[in-house]
Amino acid sequence: MALAFVTGGSRGLGFETAKALKAAGNQVVLFARNTGKLHQAGQELNSTIEYVELSDIAATREVFKAAVEKYGVPDILMLAHGVMSDRLAKTLKTNDEEWRRVMTINLDSVFTIVNEVGAKMAEARKGRVIVYSACLGRMSGPGNAGGLAPYRISKAGVNALVRNLAHETGHGSRGFWIDAICPNHSRTDMGGENAPRSAEEGAATAIWLATRELISSQTQTGLLWEDRQVVPW
């Protein structure tokens, strides 16, 4: 049985990921800020819950430091939290408040959690980190420019963080794997009810990455995945 920390675990993609990990027999700890939905998710999955306000970076570090002390170093760190920027937000039209709101939750908190928890996973030479990114954060391919500037740029930063850390930790050769996924437009509170994919479908690749067999000399890591396939950054 593996220990999994799941952020954004109270709803949407994070909840679906946590549900699958729990069904596979793993110990799951859910992290979220909506206390009502967090308690409901914890009861539904029979999982432990931890409140975290990801817009407060100092508090976020303390929450995850305490979680490691309480539960141990996780085998799986699943970062499924995030916020969307104003749909009309363009680089020259975005104010400081909106920019900082999106960057703090989508990028800064990812760094802080990985820096705090991932460091201990790498030191223990065990575990895998999966970060929900977005194809809107790609530097190539369709739909890679125009509008949603804070969101796109925050996800591009996540992609760069994943790629850089994979290089720093030996691309899986030291027992530590990190990858980003593009879940595509899914039916969640963020994606809306008219999105083409269900939340279960959006979470499928993350679940696969968290449970696939790992062979250090053969398993690809430090990549952006979509439908279990590597896509260009």
Q: State how far the alpha carbon of 128 is from the alpha carbons of 57, 79, 188, 191, in Å.
A: 22, 11, 25, 26
What percentage of the chain exceeds 90 in pLDDT? 76
Average pLDDT in the 119-148 region? 87
Q: Where are the domains of the chain?
A: 3-231
In total, the chain counts a number of residues equal to: 233
Give the whole-angstrom CA distance, residue 149 versus residue 189: 20
Architecture of domain 3-231: 3-Layer(aba) Sandwich (3.40)
SS3 48: strand
3-class state of residue 4 by DSSP: strand
pTM over 0.85: yes
| Least confident window among 136-140, 157-161, 195-199, 208-212 | 195-199
Q: CA separation (Å) from 29 to 47, 86, 104, 164?
A: 6, 31, 22, 27
Rounded alpha-carbon distances, angstroms, from residue 98 to 18, 53, 144: 29, 17, 20
SS3 content of the chain, % helix, strand, coil (to 5): 45, 15, 40
pLDDT tens column, 163-212: 999 999 999 989 999 999 998 765 666 656 786 677 788 899 999 999 99
Please, how many CA atoms are within 13 Å of residue 72, restricted to the half-sphere of its CB? 11
- pLDDT tens track for 56-113: 999 999 999 999 999 999 999 999 999 988 777 889 989 999 999 999 999 999 999 9
Amino acid at 136: L
Q: What angle do CA 132, 160, 182 make, to 5 degrees?
A: 30
